[in-house]
Amino acid sequence: MIQKQKGCNDIYGREAKIWKYVDTVIDALMEKYNYSYIRTPIIEATELFHRGVGETTDIVTKESYDFQDKGGRDITLRPEGTAGVVRSYIENKMYGDPNQPVKVYYNGTMYRYERPQSGRDRELTQFGMEVLGSDDPLSDAEVISLAVNVYKMLGLKEIKVNINSLGDNESRTKYREALVEYFKPHIKDFCEDCQERYEKNPLRILDCKVDAENDVLKNAPKTIDYLNNESRDRFEKVQEYLEIMQIDYEINPNIVRGLDYYNHTVFEIEAKVEGFGSNNVLGGGGRYNGLVSQLGGPETPCVGFACGLGRLVMALELEKVKMPIIDDIDLFLMYVNDDEKKYAVYLAQELRLAGFIVDTEYTGRGLKGQFKQADRFNAKFTCVLNSEDLDNNEVKIKNNKTKEEEIISLDVLIYYLDEQLNTMDNEEDACGCGHCHDEDHECTGECGGDCHCHHE
């Protein structure tokens, strides 16, 4: 038997519905913030990530899937989304668009050759957003607030924002010099990766997981102590805008992020999730003002955020967040003979096009088996097509909740089902999204606008 590759997963059934719901909430919120969807290729030139993400990052040195295609070109499966978006921004000359800044979001598959573990796979789906063309600290705060609101709208409760600043080039240079001097007497006590990072990019030592408990690392100089006045003022502006937006945050000087292209604001967002252990980080991001020019475009200030959807879905399940997942159908059509089957084909087509969720029999089951299938589908209504009823232009409909049966004219079947299903929805405890708590069942808005609370 051929099996899936290590670190890859099949997503189907109810889990797939949860993923689709998360996508729906993200899409709805991105639209409210006026972010446009962007889709970039899964394969890119290897040089894009080596120049963009950075030669000293683990993504490039250890985790990227690199290969040569049949034309001898060096190709990489994208390990993250930002570099591809920036490449597209440059190649399509989006910097010339009069609508600036360019605000986009993506939701796609990434590949990293790392040791699979809970919430970290070799094939992962990543959602992210980028603002290209704005150096305003408000853009930093907006990206942070948007990420926080995605988590809150999905139903996660205890959200924590940790922010830091790496400063501008002058500040980073001073800080780098301080780190080199500080680590010099101790570097031989660190892991091999850190010893290599010491020469190439000492900031990466701060992100080391192997030596995370080393007292030398814990007491290392902090970035915010080396910010010049301009960088410090900028960081204070970001905090001011977050406070106006009522986004709770903490300054955490230990955050440096793992990619080489960051400067100024960097941040991570945590959620207190039972079962996640010590690492509650769901996503993060920051500002990267030099990446566009580094990849051959004009000087362009940018800021972005990314999170893995697999880890997010895991958090929602561990927290037992109620979601408006449709686990039922409106109507199951049943039949016995071939003429009734043909009418079932016709009627299912008409009702589906009218907006109803309808299914029928495909495997040759008898009526008893069809009733069991209807129950497995949680069908709200069932209809056994009967040749005699059809000759009278009628069908018998059964409400599976009340067990009541009615003979309905085919001429009014659509109106009947629409009325009955609306009544059934209104009788339910709100919409099932887990957020609608008003006595009159009006939507609180936390469900992303995709629930039955909006029905009249």
pLDDT of residue 220: 85
Alpha-carbon gap, residue 322 to 315, rounded angstroms: 12
Using CB atoms within 10 A of its CB, is residue 429 exposed (0-12), middle (13-18) or buried (19+)? exposed
pLDDT above 70: percentage of residues in the chain:
89
> Which domains does the chain possess?
13-168+228-318 (3.30.930.10), 329-430 (3.40.50.800)
pTM, rounded to two decimals: 0.84
Residue 138 has pLDDT above 60, yes or no: yes
Calculate the CA 97 to chain-centre distance.
27
Residue with the larger pLDDT of the pair 153 and 173: 153
C-beta of residue 410 within 8 angstroms of C-beta of residue 392:
no
Q: pLDDT of 71-84, one tens digit each?
A: 999 999 999 999 99
pLDDT of residue 79: 92
C-beta of residue 75 within 8 angstroms of C-beta of residue 43:
yes
Q: Quick one: how many helices (H) and strands (E) in the chain? A: 15, 16
Averaged pLDDT score across all residues of the chain:
87
Tell me the backbone φ, ψ of residue 307, rounded to 5 degrees. Answer: -150, 150
pLDDT of residue 119: 64
Angle value at C-alpha 102, between 100 and 107, nearest 5 degrees: 165
Residue with the larger pLDDT of the pair 128 and 252: 128
DSSP E strands: which ranges in 232-360? 250-251, 263-271, 281-287, 302-308, 329-334, 358-360
Q: What is the DSSP letter of 258?
A: S
Using CB atoms within 10 A of its CB, is residue 8 exposed (0-12), middle (13-18) or buried (19+)? middle
Provide the residue type at 291 as one letter.
Answer: L
Lowest mean pLDDT among 198-207, 329-338, 357-366: 198-207
Residues 6+ apart with CB under 8 A from 139: 101, 131, 303
Q: pLDDT of 198-246, one tens digit each?
A: 777 777 777 777 777 777 877 888 888 899 999 999 999 999 999 999 9
Residues 6+ apart with CB under 8 A from 209: none
- What is the 3-state secondary structure of 223-236? HHHHCCHHHHHHHH
C-beta of residue 74 within 8 angstroms of C-beta of residue 66:
yes
pLDDT above 90: percentage of residues in the chain:
65
Residue with the larger pLDDT of the pair 365 and 114: 365
C-beta of residue 99 within 8 angstroms of C-beta of residue 36:
no
On the CB side of 390, how many CA atoms lie within 13 Å of its CA?
A: 15
